[in-house]
Structure 1
Amino acid sequence: MKKKKAWSALCAGLILAWGMGSAQAQLLIGQTAGFSGQVASGVQETSDGAKLYIDMVNARGGVNGQKIEVISLDDKFDPKTAAENARQLIEEKNVLAMFLTRGTPHTEGIIPLLDKHGVALVAPSTGAMVLHQPVRKNIFNVRATYQREAEKAMTHLASMGITRVAVFYSDDSFGADGVQGAQKGLAAAKLQPVVLEKFDRAKPDFAPLAGKAAKADAQAVLMIASGTSVVEGVNALRAAGSAAQIVTLSNNASSGFIKSLGANARGVIVTQVFPNERGANYPMVKEAQELAKAKGTEVSPAMLEGFAAAKVLVEGLKRAGPKPDRAKIHAALESIRKFDIGGLEVSFTPEDHTGLDFADLSIIGTDGRFRR
């Protein structure tokens, strides 16, 4: 009876399978992410971007004659559920690799499973420094760190003459990580935050924090938070009478995030870890645009992150040969040097699993789109 219930739970959580069907897809890849909950829109867009590339690869015959299937489970952005999903994918579904997890504590929670079974995780959708340094043997990052983003954002604000900055951050490993970058950027400008406050990730209460920021006459507020938490924080700030410039990180670089902000979207600064999704000077962006257009959609920054992630995953599978296993895929990924994904180069070594270090800034325009 217990086994039956466990299987039912697995089936209920199985929300997406990319590829050509179980009968034909021989390369099984696992993903756990919050397809529902506070980061759902960003997760969906990132996964859609990866799907653009994987669908194209499968349509051309797959990798070494084998089709790729990504089995995705919804963890509702809950770290405990993420760990259980990863266990099911690794131990029961026998996936060759994990892919595009979302969230810092969520990804940290599955590291013991990765290490126990020798499974590589390609492109976690988080820029936590803890996944970069010290090097995590089985994690292959394909994006810059949150610390780099936060530091760049603070440096930009200082260059604009802004000296009164408040920082709100999630009370978890993600928030603590981003704060380090923000403080580094502020220190370089010889500034201290006028408000530095953390909040409960699961049940945030922004009214007291917004009141403090308004009282301190903060000119800008950096929100190191995810999805709906940022929306609630912005709403609270405006309700408190604060007109501060809002800044947040690339985990919120999705079209869905802009929509959720509603009337408060215009002027919000969002850091980015990939080039302009509407620019044509990067071959990767142009390729993604063409594939998206064929499917009647537009590329968002979140989609571009997924697209780049898929390129690295496919390259690792190619290098692993016609009969890949977990160990071969790990070795293949670690052999990647200066791999051009379309205007950006990805490299891994046993001592460095960062992949890319690109960071930029964008602002949400009056048309509800990111502007560089």
Structure 2
Amino acid sequence: MKKTGLAGALCALAAALGIGSAHSQILIGQTVGITGSAAATVAESMQGAALYIDHVNAKGGVGGQKVEVVSLDDRFDPKLTLQNTKTLIEEKGVIGLFMTRGTPHTQGIMPLLEQHGVPLVGPSTGAMVLHQPVPKYIFNVRAPYQREVEKAITHLNTLGIKRIGVVHVDDTFGADGLAGAQSGFKANQLDALFIEKFDRAKPDYSAIAPRVAQKQPQAVVFIGTGAAVVDGIKALRAAGVNGQIVTLSNNASGGFVKLLGDQARGVVVTQVFPSERSLNYPVVKEAMQLARARNMTDLTPAMVEGFVSAKVLVEGLKRAGPKPDRAKLHAGLESIKKWDLGGVELSYSPADHSGLEFADLSIIGSDGRFKR
């Protein structure tokens, strides 16, 4: 069946990253929601990763071997994530996994990583369960969600905004973000105005939105993913909620802004990477130059995340030495100490797989761009 629209574009991008090639020399696996509620942001993060990996391959790859990322669509369904991971590890023989998306999705594959000794680089989730206790085979790049939420609540409090509520998805991601919110409230001597949760598979705001409106919040921290958050924000606004909306970095994409449409302006989105327009960071300048060489005029935060995560993956492969395998890649990643990616520094050790500590806030402007 011929695919059209966004799904077709994403499948074409997945093919560009190496699906179906019989000639790769270093196989890396990825299971991610190429379609589904997170597809818009996934597309941009994959584009960012492809910018760097294609650049490396054009120069001869790593140690003369080209890197192929075999990407399978899990439709943002944790069950499919698990199935795809088994396929990638047991059938495709990948030596590492790259940039999964979703907290329950990534949690669900941890036993497989342990069983087969397969490192996962740059999961696109900031869940604390992937940081503490330190999972041996997960190498985070982005900062934890809890740090993002704490920073957002502290910022709101400094602006005199005290009546803050939380709406979160009812899964491990939502619970993790809620824990960060509760820590932020405690640190600022505040109490949550309300806490509401919605079903991940079938979000329904028909009862939540009126309850939130009755509370007249000055701000709502919305913890969820992609289309579910878009629908929730629109429902809150339709119910008469006029307060500040804050969501997390997993929604930091141009696709998210487009889905919000005329409701996008003024929404605060936390960030865990430098601004996509900040030339003060060499890594952003590098990504921008490679993007322009492909006639891509703008970067997005999600593209920066993909680009930076790809740099970490390639660095691990370089340090793995000739003929890298799963164990060598793991050792190569753990050997990274105070490595400057281009204005941001990253270190790993057996006792620390947390990656970067960068956290910031942005607001969506009238032009649909993230402003810091």
* TM-score (structure 1 length as normaliser): 0.95
Contact 1:17–1:71, Cα closer than 8 Å, also in 2: no
CA distance in structure 2 between the aligned counterparts of 1:32 and 1:204, rounded to whole angstroms: 23
CA distance in structure 2 between the aligned counterparts of 1:14 and 1:30, rounded to whole angstroms: 15
Match of 1:31? 30
Contact 1:166–1:194, Cα closer than 8 Å, also in 2: yes
Cα RMSD, aligned residues only: 1.5
Residue 15 (structure 1) shift = 4.6
CA distance in structure 1 between the aligned counterparts of 2:235 and 2:103, rounded to whole angstroms: 25
Match of 1:184? 183
CA distance in structure 2 between the aligned counterparts of 1:206 and 1:165, rounded to whole angstroms: 18
1:333 aligns with 2:305: no
Output aligned runs, 1:184-223, within 5 Å: 184-223=183-222
CA distance in structure 1 between the aligned counterparts of 2:216 and 2:331, rounded to whole angstroms: 53
CA distance in structure 1 between the aligned counterparts of 2:104 and 2:13, rounded to whole angstroms: 21
CA distance in structure 2 between the aligned counterparts of 1:46 and 1:275, rounded to whole angstroms: 15
Match of 1:289? 288
Match of 1:162? 161
Match of 1:355? 355
Contact 2:33–2:74, Cα closer than 8 Å, also in 1: yes
Match of 1:343? 343
Matched letter for residue 320 of structure 2: A
Matched letter for residue 357 of structure 1: E
Contact 1:100–1:123, Cα closer than 8 Å, also in 2: yes
Match of 2:130? 131
Identical columns (%): 64
Output aligned runs, 1:1-372, within 5 Å: 15-16=14-15, 18-19=17-18, 22-297=21-296, 298-372=298-372
Q: Please, which moves more after superposition, 248-257 or 231-240? A: 231-240
Residue 174 (structure 1) shift = 0.2
Residue 270 (structure 1) shift = 0.1
Which deviations, in whole Å up to 9, do the C-alpha atoms of 1:297-355 show, x marking residues without a partner?
12100000000000000001001111111101101101110111111111000000001
Higher strand fraction (1 or 2): 1
Q: Aligned residues, how many?
A: 361
Secondary structure, in 3 states, of the residue corresponding to 1:193? coil
Query: Cα gap change, 1:296/1:251 in structure 2, threshold over 3 Å: closer, same or farther?
Result: same
CA distance in structure 2 between the aligned counterparts of 1:339 and 1:174, rounded to whole angstroms: 29
CA distance in structure 2 between the aligned counterparts of 1:226 and 1:52, rounded to whole angstroms: 24
Residue 207 (structure 1) shift = 2.3
CA distance in structure 2 between the aligned counterparts of 1:93 and 1:21, rounded to whole angstroms: 11
Query: Cα gap change, 1:20/1:197 in structure 2, threshold over 3 Å: closer, same or farther?
Result: closer
Residue 209 (structure 1) shift = 1.5
CA distance in structure 2 between the aligned counterparts of 1:13 and 1:134, rounded to whole angstroms: 38
Contact 1:20–1:67, Cα closer than 8 Å, also in 2: no
Residue 213 (structure 1) shift = 1.4
Matched letter for residue 265 of structure 1: A
CA distance in structure 2 between the aligned counterparts of 1:330 and 1:55, rounded to whole angstroms: 23
Residue 16 (structure 1) shift = 3.1
Which deviations, in whole Å up to 9, do the C-alpha atoms of 1:188-222 show, x marking residues without a partner?
11111111011101111112211111111101111
Contact 2:19–2:70, Cα closer than 8 Å, also in 1: no
- Detail structure 1 runs of 4+ shifted over 4 Å in the superposition: 12-15
- Residue ranges of structure 2 left out of the alignment (5+ in a row): 1-10
Residue 14 (structure 1) shift = 11
